Structure 1
Amino acid sequence: MNGNHAALAAFAHNLADLARAETLHRFEAGVGADDKGGANGFDPVTDADREAERAMRAAIEAAYPEHGIAGEEFPERPSSGPFVWSLDPVDGTRSFTCGLPNWVTLIALLEDGRPTIGLIDVPCLGERYWGAGGDGAFVRSGQQVRLRASDRTSLAEARLSTTDPYLFEDAERGAFERVRAGVRTTRYGHDGYAYARLAAGTLDLVIESQLKPYDYNALIPVVRAAGGVIGDWTGGDDFSAGRVIAAATPALFEQAVAVMRDAG
């Protein structure tokens, strides 16, 4: 990274610290959730979501007033240049409200529409994962370790995750089930944390549907910095439909795509 990008990556860590200061104590105290989903089904939001995003937005506006901001909880702030910050203050709000520790904060910096810096913060577990310019690392138990996806190349060996299999619709569900039936083991309910663990080498494959940009922007640089592959269900790079496959190796990615593209 050049000096400017290194400064921006450091600033992303500052944003994660600000968010953690708003979310962690509320999680420990226990907070209620409002339903912002309405007729579309239960979609929880808490004070932790809102206050963490407010804190990050205020910091961005003060340090980089020309940068845009696209967050989950508040209207988009347009950019007057190439940079836009993508913010998901609590990814995994259902886990948060259930007292489960694997919710994360997702922060990404987009340059000309492409995520170049990604950060996944895991406040409850004291972990943080980041990728920028092809470099990536994570901190766990106070130790910094370089990101490295596993070398598994076949579905039969793969450790698979998705947040909730009931989020898949119709043909999607059948395609996912065909992948699930062929892998070694499957874990559910981890939201953005699953991609962090793929980048750290303990999961091999993540398949999801219905993701929004603030759900996936931060994941892209992290997975790629680990040597993994992340793309859409056709094997391309168009995430606009919210369909995402992340895999530890190109061979594993191609096998998953061969099944999931049949979902239409």
Structure 2
Amino acid sequence: MSTPDLDLAHRLSDRADEITNARFRSTDLRISSKPDRTPVTDADLAVEDTVRAELAEHRPDDLVVGEERGGDLTRGRFWILDPIDGTKNFLRGLPVWATLTALVEDGSPVVGVVSAPALHRRWWASAGGGAYRRIGADGPAERINVSEVSELADSYLSTTHLGSWTERELRAEYLRLVDACWESRAFGDFWQHCLVAEGAIDLAAEPLANEWDLAAVQVLVEEAGGSLTDLSGRRRFDGGEALSSNGTVHRKALELLGG
């Protein structure tokens, strides 16, 4: 189901794709470090500045929060941007990165678009409108749904970086969940949550995540029939952590993680 805000989010993603595709694997890519020592490229900054300019023109009354230029979360209506989720992959020439664009109203994401042009994939959702995927620039929109796996012993689990669990002093709890599941991988970042939404895997767990990492994928996973919460089970995208799932195995996974 299309809405004016979802249509705008797609147009913003198209503009972002133009920039990131042009800079991906560029020999003159400029890289610096933020105060938290995470990398930022000139492409990250160009995407966020371009999207902010578009929003200023088309939604001048809306607020904007972005990973690179900041902004305050509010209970009103605001757009939240991650210009390149997976910057480490981007700067190393790996194709697993995406631009994440979400619209939040009264604390809840209502539109989300995840565009991964190097993977030739785009995922999107709007509240009450379902979740969709497109493969290839000219591919059809396909409705997606989470899996029907009902037992942890049959579940496929992903995370981003095992060291993050050590940093949060939750390594033992995460490995307990790994041992309870059928298979585990580290697909990482946005991709794992999109894989949950399309039913390819059943669980994605992150002990460290920012609001711009999660707003777009929360509405995607939920509209696909799943759940995204923090590690204590609260439905939120701004809690600094996340567990997404098909919903059926969510509570069992939280129990092993101590939630």
- TM over 0.5, shorter chain: yes
After TM superposition, list the pairs within 5 Å mapping 1:22-61 onto structure 2.
Answer: 22-30=19-27, 31-37=29-35, 40=36, 42-61=37-56
Q: Report what 1:128 is aligned to.
A: 122
C-alpha contact (below 8 Å) 2:218/2:237 kept by paired residues? no
Letter in 2 for 1:35: S
Q: Which residue of 1 aligns with 2:185?
A: 187
Deviations 1:30-60 (A, max 9, x none): 42421114xx4x3000011000011100000
Moved more, 233-242 or 211-220: 233-242
1:203 CA drift (Å): 1.2
Instruction: Report the AA paired with residue 207 of structure 1.
Output: A
Alignment partner of 1:157 out of 154, 159, 177: 154
User: Aligned Cα RMSD in Å?
Assistant: 1.8
> 5+ unaligned residues in a row in structure 2: which ranges?
none
Q: For the residues of structure 2 that align with 1:210 and 1:91, how far apart are their CA atoms? A: 14
Equivalence for 1:68: 63
Q: In the comparison of the two structures, how many residue pairs are matched? A: 254
Question: How many Å apart are 1:77 and its aligned residue?
Answer: 7.2
- For 1:233, which of 231, 234, 245 is the aligned residue? 231
Query: Which 4+ stretches in 1 moved above 4 angstroms?
Result: none
1:15 to 5, 12, 15: 12
1:92-133: CA deviation from partner (whole Å, max 9, x where unpaired): 101111111111111100011211111111110121101102
Which residue of structure 1 aligns with residue 86 of structure 2? 92
Q: Secondary structure at the match of 1:237?
A: coil
1:144 aligns with 2:141: yes
1:210–1:241 CA contact under 8 A, matched in 2: no
**Aligned 8 A contact 1:109 1:115 in 2:** yes
What is residue 104 of structure 1 aligned with on the other side? 98
Partners of 2:236 and 2:104 lie apart in 1 by: 15
Q: Quick check: 2:156–2:182 contact (8 Å CA) kept in 1?
A: yes
2:208 aligns with one of 207, 210, 213:
210
TM-score (norm 2): 0.92
What's the % identity of the aligned pairs?
31
> How much has 1:189 moved relative to structure 2?
4.3
Flag the 1:170–1:194 CA change in 2: closer, same or farther, 3 A: closer
What residue in structure 1 maps to residue 254 of structure 2?
257
- SS state of the match for residue 232, structure 2? coil
Deviation at 1:215, TM superposition (A): 0.9
Q: Distance in 2 between matches of 1:221 and 1:144?
A: 17
1:235–1:195 CA distance, 2 compared to 1 (3 A)? same
How far apart in 1 are the matches of 2:19 and 2:72? 21
Distance 1:146 1:78, change over 3 A: closer
Which amino acid in the other structure matches residue 146 of structure 2? A
CA contact (8 A) 1:199 1:222 kept: yes
8 Å contact from structure 1 (residues 131, 225) kept in 2? yes
Question: 1 CA distance for matches of 2:125 and 2:245?
Answer: 16
Residue pair 2:244, 2:250 contacting (<8 A) in 1 also: yes
